[in-house]
Amino acid sequence: MAVDLAPPDPGSLFPVPGVELGVAMAGVRKANRRDLLLMRLGVESMVAGVFTRNRFCAAPVIIAKRNLASQRGIRALVINTGNANAGTGEDGVARATLVCEGVARALGCAAEQVLPFSTGVIMEPLPAERIVAGLAGAVADLRADNWAAAAEAIMTTDTVPKAASRRVCLAGGEVTVTGIAKGAGMIRPDMATMLGFIATDARVARGALESLVRDTADKSFNCISVDGDTSTNDAFVLVASGASGVVAQSKADLAVLEQAITEVAVLLAQAIVRDGEGATKFITIRIEGGRSIEESRRVAYAIAHSPLVKTAFFASDPNLGRILAAIGNAGIADLDVSRLQLYLDSVLVAANGGRHPDYREEQGAEALAKPEFTVRAMLNRGQAAATVWTCDLSFEYVKINAEYRT
Amino acid sequence: MAVDLAPPDPGSLFPVPGVELGVAMAGVRKANRRDLLLMRLGVESMVAGVFTRNRFCAAPVIIAKRNLASQRGIRALVINTGNANAGTGEDGVARATLVCEGVARALGCAAEQVLPFSTGVIMEPLPAERIVAGLAGAVADLRADNWAAAAEAIMTTDTVPKAASRRVCLAGGEVTVTGIAKGAGMIRPDMATMLGFIATDARVARGALESLVRDTADKSFNCISVDGDTSTNDAFVLVASGASGVVAQSKADLAVLEQAITEVAVLLAQAIVRDGEGATKFITIRIEGGRSIEESRRVAYAIAHSPLVKTAFFASDPNLGRILAAIGNAGIADLDVSRLQLYLDSVLVAANGGRHPDYREEQGAEALAKPEFTVRAMLNRGQAAATVWTCDLSFEYVKINAEYRT
């Protein structure tokens, strides 16, 4: 069902010196399934992350945030599928801690130097002992050229593994950026997690890396919507191993590196939407002429979250009044709708508060029949813009989410 | 498909002295269909209303608000189905004005004394001339005991007409409250309108009536959600004809009248949810122990709007982590999830940040298998509470909204 999304060619995924990946079958929820990923990081590594704002954040999120804040060098990331360890209270924190301790023993570091991540069903106890038992296999599998297997190991109901890679030249030499991700909360309720991990071998200072993870998240993972929720486990983590010896410190170098990380993150984020549950269309929502980025995003999300707009996209029905109604509903009290222009791809659909006289319904039907198209609204009240990527709402979405546990 | 909703018994709908209703077939969109309702109000009538906050509000909404504000006595309401006259710019205002002028000629009043309402497809020109031509039939049909026909005439894709009636005693004597409504924006995208009209023969001063319409809307039509949108045409209008000669002015009388109006409005609002597009369940969301009504409502709506929660309700799947995730996602930054308790009907499901140890999945499955149930969350951080009524998200919803115009 994924919209124009192929599995990555393993040869296109460049290893990142200083980062090794190992996968194993721990039997978290189902037997004979790669459900455990261990990432070992070199001693010079710097790590930064952004996490879900859901107040019911999962136990591993609590621990990962705490360990990141402690400023002890992070040596490993451990990710399991099959169980989100969310809605599990204090017991969940204790179980996630057992996993970190297991990793620490296996790799010879402190438990506080391990970041845990979980994805899968909510409100079930994490089988920490099975994960710990599975660690030996993951350690034995640790390799730098293991990104394709890692992308597969973190899949839950994703239909296609998601990975991307770039190499760019900084002043001090070439560096690599490689990342993997799995499907987003809105798409996969119980598998309640959007997880993204991107690593580079550039050497980046802590503060700069923290800015990079926030800024690149805002241009990628924070620009997607499948059904509007934020899961209990969402996380995006950026690792700078420093193993290339190439320092990214100057403004120019950081800009080049940010561009490469953004490209990888956007590919991963878009892949999540393309693989959205039941998705048959990939839609870019572009809002221009807003007074601020924030209000431009608000309008974009009002369109992207509207079930009415999304069912019309699914039906290829150019029922464009639904888009106008969503824009009018975005909470901008002083929006002058008579100044707004609405485009479907390059076709001017609405202006002066109503349908444009030259617009013909066949044009709208033609645009919406395509698997990918752009909805562009110009608010004409400022200079700010925002882009959001989303998918349609299909029978299949309801089917998957209604029957998920059966 | 409607959940436990029967058409009203016409005998249960008390006439409201001072209010006459006439319906006609104007052929707005389809022939041989009652699509025009005229309500003639006695000269002593006072009228107040609340309207959509959508910035793309429809032409009739613009005119109705303007005519209400002008403080000239309102003499008539005119409602057409088949065309919402929304997203139609200045031309839409001109066409709605033609309708008001037609009503004024037919009834011998000024056009500014007429409130127009439209519901139906968006972004199509209103056939004002056909509506004006149909007015003679509506005038000929004007009767006080015509509420059942009126409820049918404003239906679009509603499957059941919606009307309710009460009689209560004030100090000065008995008064009547009778109302009709049609389905909400979120449910019926193109038929983009929740319309509610309630009339009483009590005599109420303008300021008091304006308070009544706001307060009763907040307890009824503002407590429902099918899919989270606000349409371009939503309106709730309260008429006090004064024809009973009974004055509602004292605090006690106004409280009794407000209670009766609220009861009628709640029945109508719940009927809209029960008749929600594709609805198979009627769900009451009750949030208690909030710090304010506003945050309690925010949590209730976060649950009511979550496609994941709604598909789980449809499937009768007690996938309760989805409810916790929705609560955590309601934007209350300092919510302490460890203090929260979640009930399904009388079953304690979650406490201390996770599943309650006594809870068994069969209990949840049993509650969700019923056509009506209550989700109750106690935030334990204050004294405020809020209730929202909603329905599930079914295959049928997607089908209806995807195929609406085909």
End position of a domain, from candidates A274, A307, A337: A274
> Is B48 inside any structural domain?
yes
Q: Are strands B372-378 and B341-344 parallel, antiparallel or unpaired?
A: antiparallel
Compute and round to an integer the Cα radius of gyration of chain A: 22
CATH of residue A100: 3.60.70.12
- Cα distances (Å, whole numbers) of residue A350 to A7, A355, A357, B119: 39, 4, 8, 20
Residue-wise pLDDT for A242-276, tens only, equals 999 999 999 999 999 999 999 999 999 999 989 88
Q: Are strands B36-41 and B19-24 parallel, antiparallel or unpaired?
A: antiparallel
- A328–B54 CB contact, under 8 Å: yes
Residue B386 in this model has a pLDDT that exceeds 90:
yes
Q: How far apart are CA A100 and CA A106, in angstroms?
A: 10
A99 min Cα distance to partner chain B (Å) = 20
User: At how many degrees (to 10) do helices A321-328 and A307-314 cross?
Assistant: 160
- Cα distances (Å, whole numbers) of residue B405 to A317, B58, B87, B189, B290: 8, 20, 17, 11, 42
> Is A3 inside any structural domain?
no
What is the number of H-type helices and E-type strands within chain A? 11, 16
The pair of three-digit structure tokens given for residue A32, joined into one six-digit string: 């004979």
> Is B83 inside any structural domain?
yes
Q: How confident is the model at residue B320 (pLDDT cuts 50, 70, 90)?
A: confident
Pair B108, B209 in one domain: yes
List the single residue in B53, B312, B355 with the smallest CB-CB distance to A87. Answer: B355
CB-based contact B401:A311 (threshold 8 Å): yes
Query: Between A62 and B395, where is the model more confident?
Result: A62
Residue-wise pLDDT for A26-38, tens only, equals 999 999 999 999 9
pLDDT at A186: 45
Q: Taking Cα atoms as reference points, which of A78, A156, A157 lies closest to residue A111?
A: A78
Residue A240 in this model has a pLDDT that exceeds 90:
yes
The residue type found at A297 is R
- B229–A326 CB contact, under 8 Å: yes
- Which chain B residues are Cβ-neighbours of A90 within 8 angstroms? 352-353
Pair B259, B308 in one domain: no
Instruction: Tell me phi and psi for residue B390, to 5 degrees.
Output: -145, 175
**Full strand arrangement of the beta sheet holding A384-391:** A224-225, A384-391, A282-290, A372-378, A341-344, A347-351, A354-355
pLDDT at A189: 36
pLDDT at B28: 96
End position of a domain, from candidates B243, B274, B305: B274
Residues 6+ apart with CB under 8 A from A357: none
pLDDT at A404: 55
Alpha helices in A275-360 (DSSP H): 293-305, 307-314, 321-328
Strands (E), B42-130: 46-51, 76-83, 114-121
CATH of residue B328: 3.10.20.340
Q: How far apart are CA A241 and CA A167, in angstroms?
A: 15
- B328–A402 CB contact, under 8 Å: no
Pair A218, A262 in one domain: yes
- Which chain B residues are Cβ-neighbours of A404 within 8 angstroms? 317, 319
Q: How far apart are CA A118 and CA A126, in angstroms?
A: 9
Q: Which residue of A has its CA nearest to B342?
A: A87
Average pLDDT in the B297-320 region? Answer: 87
Instruction: Tell me phi and psi for residue B46, to 5 degrees.
Output: -115, 140
Residue B327 in this model has a pLDDT that exceeds 90:
yes
Average pLDDT in the A365-370 region? Answer: 92
Pair A42, A105 in one domain: yes
Residue B402 in this model has a pLDDT that exceeds 80:
no
3-class SS shares of chain A: helix, strand, coil, % to 5: 35, 25, 40
CB-based contact A82:A125 (threshold 8 Å): no
CB-based contact A4:A371 (threshold 8 Å): yes
> Is B3 inside any structural domain?
no
CB-based contact B158:B59 (threshold 8 Å): no
List the single residue in A84, A123, A395 with the smallest CB-CB distance to B395. Answer: A395
Residues 6+ apart with CB under 8 A from B199: B16, B18, B19, B39, B177, B178, B179, B238, B239, B240, B241
A136 min Cα distance to partner chain B (Å) = 31
User: Which residues constitute the domain of residue A322?
Assistant: 282-402
- Which chain B residues are Cβ-neighbours of A276 within 8 angstroms? none
Residue B9 in this model has a pLDDT that exceeds 80:
yes
**Full strand arrangement of the beta sheet holding B46-51:** B46-51, B235-240, B195-200, B173-182, B162-170
Query: Which residue(s) pair with A236 in the sheet?
Result: A50, A196
Catalytic site residue from A52, A193, A200, A280: A193
Residue-wise pLDDT for B184-239, tens only, equals 544 433 334 689 999 999 999 999 999 999 999 999 988 887 665 667 788 999 99
Query: In the A/B pair of chains, how many CB contacts fall below 8 A?
Result: 227
> Is A1 inside any structural domain?
no
Strands (E), B65-158: 76-83, 114-121
CB-based contact A340:A353 (threshold 8 Å): yes
End position of a domain, from candidates A227, A254, A274: A274
Reported as type and span, the H/E element at residue A97 is: helix A89-107
> Is A65 inside any structural domain?
yes
Q: Which residue of A has its CA nearest to B121?
A: A321
Reported as type and span, the H/E element at residue A118 is: strand A114-118
Instruction: Tell me phi and psi for residue B76, to 5 degrees.
Output: -160, 150
Pair A352, A250 in one domain: no
Strands (E), B7-58: 19-24, 36-41, 46-51
pLDDT at A190: 39
Interface ipTM: 0.76
Pair B32, B64 in one domain: yes
- B89–A394 CB contact, under 8 Å: no
Least confident of A191-205, A206-220, B243-257, B259-273: A191-205
Instruction: Tell me phi and psi for residue B310, to 5 degrees.
Output: -70, -35
Q: Which residue of B has its CA nearest to A338?
A: B89
Residues 6+ apart with CB under 8 A from A106: A135, A136, A139
Q: Taking Cα atoms as reference points, which of B148, B26, B47 lies closest to residue B99?
A: B26
Instruction: Tell me phi and psi for residue A329, to 5 degrees.
Output: -100, 10
Residue-wise pLDDT for B130-149, tens only, equals 999 999 999 999 999 999 99
Pair B267, B172 in one domain: yes
Residues 6+ apart with CB under 8 A from B188: B156, B157, B158, B277
CB-based contact A386:A396 (threshold 8 Å): no
Residue-wise pLDDT for A371-397, tens only, equals 999 999 999 999 999 999 999 888 777
Pair A289, A263 in one domain: no
Q: Are strands B384-391 and B224-225 parallel, antiparallel or unpaired?
A: parallel
Q: How far apart are CA A91 and CA B353, in angstroms?
A: 10
Residue-wise pLDDT for A271-307, tens only, equals 998 988 788 999 999 999 999 999 999 999 989 988 8
A247 min Cα distance to partner chain B (Å) = 38
The number of domains in chain A is: 2
pLDDT at A4: 87
Pair A149, A106 in one domain: yes
> Is B14 inside any structural domain?
yes
> Is A260 inside any structural domain?
yes
Share of chain B above pLDDT 90, in %: 71
Mutation target vs B (from A90, A308, A309, A355; most B CBs, 10 A cutoff): A308
Catalytic residues of B: 193
pLDDT at B187: 42
Pair A350, A367 in one domain: yes
Residues 6+ apart with CB under 8 A from A116: A60, A63, A64, A77, A78, A79, A96, A99, A100
pLDDT at A72: 83
Pair B186, B38 in one domain: yes
Pair B244, B293 in one domain: no
